[in-house]
Chains A and B, each alone.
Chain A
Amino acid sequence: MAKAVLYDATKCIGCRACQVACKQWNELPAEVTTNQGTYENPPKMSAYTFTKIHFTELEHDGKFQWVFAKLQCMHCEHPACATACIVGALVKTADGPVIYDDRKCIGCRYCMVACPFGVPNFEWDKPIPWIRKCTFCADRQGGGLKPACVTTCPTGALEFGDREELIAEGRRRIAATPDKYVDHIYGEKEVGGTSWMYLSPVPFEKLGFPTLRSEPVTINTERAMGAVPPVLLGVAAAMSGFYWLFKRREKISQAEAGDEEKQGEKVK
């Protein structure tokens, strides 16, 4: 069964312990940032920050408040990055994580452009750069551990488990306290489903989540790539046909034009 995480924004207190745990487990350096007038820091994910808590300030329930959202790779069911990758360095595993093989990557950055969530990041500052992104702690999962962020979360805002069960759990929570949540599990359907899913008290657009259709973003590409073999054969056949046709026409007209030309004898 594929593993997944359900993030419940109503339980998150914005302590960012997950951010720290992620940096520790992945041995990522701290980044120098400037004060942006918010507690949200660093301002963006990068090759050195795989996850961060996004702070949204809004008025909800008649009072001014923060709503948090943990951002990281969504580990899509039909990942655009994996379809994009020229060498297959990014792969969706049966267990859930979308993993990256730096021994294959050539640094073309198509994955970065293709990802609908803007996740894979690049080591711009290095002469020998790699793509970096959340791994869903595939290494820890392989050893039977939960992802570092989930283990560290003090409030249970991150729940790790089988995807189907977590969707059922999300539904249960929404049904039990319908005024606490919007009736939407983000990631259940988006781009064909993701391994990371979200519950929120406010509509997801307000948190800056992209509004995405439920069909995988890879669908048109798959169709186009499926047409490649027939197009290859079709064009080759058509071109050979045309060549034969025009050659033959030329020979016929040459034969008609004059008898001196002996090439005409083959035709007819």
Chain B
Amino acid sequence: MIQRTRSLPLGTSILSGLVILGLVPIVLRYLNGLGATTNLSDGRAWGFWISFDLYCGVALAAGGFTLAGAVYIFNLRKYHAVVRPAVLTAFLGYTLVVLALLVDLGQPWYIWHAMIYWNVHSPLFEVAICVMTYTAVLALEFSPAVFERFNWRVPLRIIRAIQIPLVITGVVLSTLHQSSLGSMLLLMPDTLHALWYSPILPILFLTSAVAVGPAMVIFESTLSNRAFGHKLDLDVLSGLARAIPYILGLYLLLKLVDLMVAGELGLLFSGYPHNLLWWAEITVGVVLPIVLFSLASVRQSRRQLFWCSVLVVIGLVLNRFNASMLALDMRPGFTYFPHWMELAISVGLVADALLVVVLAYRFLPMAYHEEVAAETG
């Protein structure tokens, strides 16, 4: 039933190697502290981990709530087959975020303080609570795959009974924390460059996350098709692709109108060098995908769909890096370039997640989980 290709064991061993490579700096970080293992400083207190693992990680995991919402709330049955992989990657994405925070926090052993000392005015508090709850929701949403595998009827029935409330909770929590990641930057009106700072940052962050959700699903399913063999209907992929230009179009419109209202459109041409970052992120991640995904010929080709979704993903990564690092001023007199250990830890964590994906595809019913199994059982 499961095709074993030669590339799999090789891929798995590379991934395992990366995991081990990432473990060493983690140990060093706990022994010697953040100063010894990172290039972070008082001037750049948030670095690669926050931009990549938190900001990109959460946004790229948006496929989970967008797809679950589309299928279970908007009743778009067609996409049923991709919900489970999307929810799994979302769950792993969030687990990764939490693990990365356990490395990044100065006092990770007190992470639970966020649950008992509430500062309801802090956007970070909201992010923490939502991420924590949503990770649990995602685990529950994915749990049927495990229950089906071992044929545990009772828990399966329970989960199916609360499935809709779960999905709705997931959408609500995602709306809140995807946008709150934007709200977090609202506290920095003087250090975040005007091309990114905006009172509607939370809305922009939410919209771009919703747009990258389907793109990530196209991206992941193409890759998993290649690695594990089950082919998804082209119709499903192109259907997802069809939605993207609308969401990105709305996003672009919001961005431009916002700059216009603030009277900062001129910065697009004068705000060198930051304007180049802006143009890069918008051209690659917004304008090009809007044009390409609108072409029927692109939507008929798996290859082109894949590469266009890569553009959306790159654009989002650029945007989050710009807003949380490159366009966010350091204190005067500081410089920052991530230490290799910072990078190694992040790479190791991503490899962790990929390993779990490989295992899940091998041992769990990922692609075909039709209701039949539950309803007849």
Contacts and interface: CB of A to CB of B under 8 A. Distances in A.
Given A218-B187, A242-B73, A242-B74, A225 B121 contact: yes
A203 interface: no
A235 B65 CA distance: 13
B199 interface: yes
Nearest to B171: A239
A118 B331 contact: yes
A108 interface: yes
Contact of A113 (B31, B45, B121): B45
Interface string A110-134: 1011101010011111111111000
Interface residues of B, number: 62
B123 A224 contact: yes
A121 to B, nearest CB: 5
Interface string B46-68: 10000000000000000000000
A240 B164 CA distance: 9
B257 interface: no
B30 interface: yes
Contact of B183 (A47, A208, A221): A221
Interface string B112-127: 0110011111111110
Contacts of B188: 80, 113-114, 116, 217
Contacts of B333: 43-44
Contacts of B36: 125
Nearest to A110: B124
A115 to B, nearest CB: 9
B45 A112 contact: yes
B287 interface: no
B186 interface: yes
B118 A88 contact: yes
A1 interface: no
Interface stretch (B102-110, B276-284, B296-304, B351-359): B102-110
A246 B199 contact: no
A187 to B, nearest CB: 15
Contacts of B72: 243
A217 B190 contact: yes
A239 B121 contact: no
A225 B172 contact: no
A206 to B, nearest CB: 14
B111 interface: yes
Interface in B57-90: 69, 72-75
B168 A240 contact: yes
B295 to A, nearest CB: 29
Interface stretch (A99-107, A152-160, A173-181): A99-107
Contact of A224 (B73, B114, B183): B183
B121 A106 contact: no
A85 interface: yes
B33 interface: yes
Interface string A231-243: 1100110011011
Contacts of B364: none
22 contacts: A43-B333, A83-B122, A85-B119, A107-B106, A107-B110, A113-B45, A114-B188, A122-B45, A126-B33, A212-B190, A224-B201, A224-B202, A225-B120, A225-B123, A232-B172, A236-B168, A239-B73, A239-B171, A240-B168, A243-B75, A246-B74, A246-B75
